[in-house]
Amino acid sequence: MKTHTLLMPLDMHLHLRDGVMLENVAPLSAYSYSGAIVMPNLVPPVATREDLLAYRERIMAAVPNDYFEPYMTLFYKNYDKAFLESIVDEITAIKLYPAGITTNSEGGVSSFDIEEMRTTLETMSSLGIPLCVHGETDGFVMDREAEFMSIYELLAQNFPDLKIIMEHITTKEAVAMLDKYPNLYATITVHHLLLTLDDVIGGLMRPHLFCKPIAKRPEDLDALLSVALEAHPKVMFGSDSAPHPQHKKESCGCAAGIFTAPISLQLLAEIFDQFDKLDNLQAFVSDNAQNIYGICPEFKEVTLEKRPFLVPENYSGVVPMFAGEEIGWAIESVD
C-alpha cells in the first residue's frame, strides 16, 4: 500500500464549540493534529482574559491524553492598548467577524471605520498579534467574499505591519489578493478544494455540505487548487470544521457548517495525490503555518495510507462530510 507521512499537522481554523459538543469533537482533532487555531465565537464570545483562560482549560480537559496545543483567539472588539499588552502572551490571534454574518457573530464589527479601529489594530501590529478575518459582506450570497476585497485592501494599506489572515477563502478574487499585499495571508478548507455550489444544491439539497462562506463556482475552485497544491507560502490549511447536532443540520433553517475534523487529512491526501502533489502537502498542512505564525507545534507523526476508508455515519451525533461514503485514504498510525 502507498503511504505518506506528515509531521506536526496543524489546523489553522477550527471550531470546537463548548460543553458536551467540545468533549465529543475535541479528541477527534487532537488525535491527528499537533495544534489548531481555535475560534472564539461561543455564546457569549471569548472576549476577556477570564473567558479565554477558562475556555483553554476546558479544551485541555477534553483532550487529556493527546499532545495537542489549542492556539487561542479573542473575539475582535476595539480593545485598548493596556488590555492587549496584558493578554498578548495568552493568545495567538484575534478573530474579526462582521456582525451577524455567520454562526454566533452578532456581536461582531458593524462598521469598518478605520479611525475607530486604529488603536486596536496599531497595537496589534506593534505586538505582533495577527488579525484573522471572516471576509464577507451582507450582500448577495455568492458575491459576499468578492465584495469584501475592498475592506481587505483598506486594512492592508492602513496597517502595513499587521499580519492579516483571510480566513477560509473561496474565490479567485481572494487568491489574487495574496500577491497584491505583503501582509495578507489565507487559510483554505478541504471542502472548498472539493466542492462547488452545484455539489450543494445542484440536485437535492445536501445539508451536510452547506457552509458559509458558501462553495462557489468552478473557476473559484480551480483558483484555490492552484495555490493549495503548490503550497503557496502565504496559504495554509484551516479546516473550518464546524460541528452542529444532526437535528440542526437536517431541519428547516439548516445551520451553516461542515464537519470534517476526523477525515480532513485523509481527504487532503486524496486531493494532493490525485494531482501528483503529495510532496507539497507537508508545507500546506504545517510548514507554512509555522512560518506565518511563528509557532513551534508539538511533535506528532501521522502516517496516511492509500486504501479505502468508509466514513462513519456520525460521530457522537454529529454527521461528517461524506457520511457513509468511501474515501481513498485512511490514517494508518499516529506517533
Give 35's contacts (C-beta < 8 A, 6+ positions apart). 8, 10, 11, 68, 69, 70, 71, 295, 297, 298
Cα–Cα dist 186/238, whole Å: 9
Residue ranges of alpha helices (H) inside the chain are 19-32, 49-62, 81-87, 114-127, 144-158, 172-177, 197-201, 218-229, 246-249, 264-274, 281-282, 288-293
C-alpha cell of 163? 499580519
Which of 11, 66, 220, 240 is catalytic? The answer is: 240
Name the 3-class secondary structure at 217.
coil
Closest CA to 264 of 85, 76, 31: 31
DSSP state letter for 289: H
Phi (first) and psi of residue 223, to 5 degrees: -65, -40
Beta strands 35-38; 69-75: pairing state: parallel
Residue with cell 477527534: 28
Is 240 a residue of the active site?
A: yes
Closest CA to 114 of 75, 147, 146, 162: 162
Cα–Cα dist 121/84, whole Å: 10
Q: Which positions are annotated as active-site residues?
A: 240
